[in-house]
Amino acid sequence: MARPKKSGDAFSYNDLAVVAGISGRAVRQVAEAGLLPQGDGIRTLKRIAVIGAIVAAGVPLMAAAQVAEALNLEFNQADGETPSGLDNLYRELPPHEIRLLSDHNDYWLHRALCRYPEIYARGRSMRGDAVLEIADREFVFVRVKGLSVSIHNPFVPGGLSKTPPPEGRIEDWRRGGNPVFVAFVEDVVPFDDDGKPTAEAIALDSKMRVAYENAVGLIAVNLSLAIRNGLDQLADHRSGQKKNCEMTIRHHPTAIPAAARPGRAYQAILPGRGVAPPHRSDAGAFHRGKVRKAALHFVPPSR
């Protein structure tokens, strides 16, 4: 007998795979490793969305899951997971909607907000989003988008720093080994018995902040946006719409009506997102996978 489909704020492995943009097998692997919350509720959805976003940035699956689990201590959220930002937007809804949603989770907030596109813009980052940053494929930080004030850091003189506080580091990623995430508080003892920062913690904090400020490469992952995008994808999936990767390409009126080729002007029509501005692909876009040939559907320009 086929497994029944989930609905509402209960999510199957297939739902979670859609949210994260990874395979169902990968979702199961993370779950079997104990790196997903218990149950099939909103916490699991938010965690897998974060994991999928970190994987999309190039971090191996299990290391990404370890990072996502460790970040729970960073955010003071009622559900214990990364903030989605939806709770800020829902306050802009009409009063009757707010009364109905006062005790509901992010899944139901998202469903309500989708009815008000003037409030909730799909695929857009927002001030207050949680952004993960990885310096030189090793040192991990979390910052708040749009926050320009100094941040409390007990390991620096004066207790304030403009650099995001370090969360930990990814071992063996740069050497192509089996990368694992080591949290800052697991690397060193942060405070002594008197509650004062230890010398080891001060030294590690300084080393990581210097690495951040002088990073050759800095990977940024908007975790809050990843959750909102995941909820968008799930809504499309459950309503039977095309997946976002199945783009429709409409010839721009100025394009030469010939076969698809690099340099051609086109417009992308994404489900639920409208028509993107016309632009030209670069010479290698089709070959590097930025535009998948198998997903293109060419439509003659309207006259």
Q: What is the pLDDT of residues 134-161, one digit of tens each?
A: 999 999 999 999 887 788 888 998 888 8
Percent with pLDDT over 70 in the chain: 74
pLDDT tens column, 217-258: 999 999 999 999 999 999 999 998 644 333 333 333 333 333
Q: What pLDDT was estimated at residue 261?
A: 38
Q: What pLDDT was estimated at residue 70?
A: 87
First to last CA, the chain: 51
Q: DSSP for 73-89?
A: GG---TTSS---SHHHH
Q: DSSP for 121-188?
A: -TT---TT-EEEEEETTTEEEEEETT--S-EE-TTSGGGEESSPPEEEEEESTTTTS--EEEEHHHHS
Q: What pLDDT was estimated at residue 276?
A: 41
Say if residues 293 and 281 touch (Cβ distance below 8 Å). Answer: no
Lowest mean pLDDT among 91-100, 110-119, 133-142, 172-181: 172-181
Q: What pLDDT was estimated at residue 213?
A: 94
pLDDT class of 26 with cuts at 50, 70, 90: very high
**Across residues 75-86, what is the average pLDDT?**
80
Those residues whose C-beta lies under 8 Å from the C-beta of residue 112, and which sit 6 or more positions away, are: 90, 93, 97, 100, 101
For residue 280, pLDDT beyond 60 = no
Q: Could you tell me the residue ranges of all domains in the chain?
A: 13-82+126-227, 248-299
Residues in the chain: 303
Say if residues 137 and 216 touch (Cβ distance below 8 Å). Answer: no
Lowest mean pLDDT among 46-50, 60-64, 98-102: 98-102
pLDDT tens column, 53-78: 999 999 999 999 999 998 876 775 66
C-alpha to C-alpha distances, 287 to 265, 283, 284, nearest whole angstrom? 17, 9, 5
pLDDT tens column, 168-177: 999 988 666 7
pLDDT class of 101 with cuts at 50, 70, 90: confident
pTM, full prediction: 0.74
pLDDT tens column, 173-221: 866 678 889 999 899 999 999 999 999 999 999 999 999 999 999 999 9
Give the whole-angstrom CA distance, residue 20 versus residue 61: 11
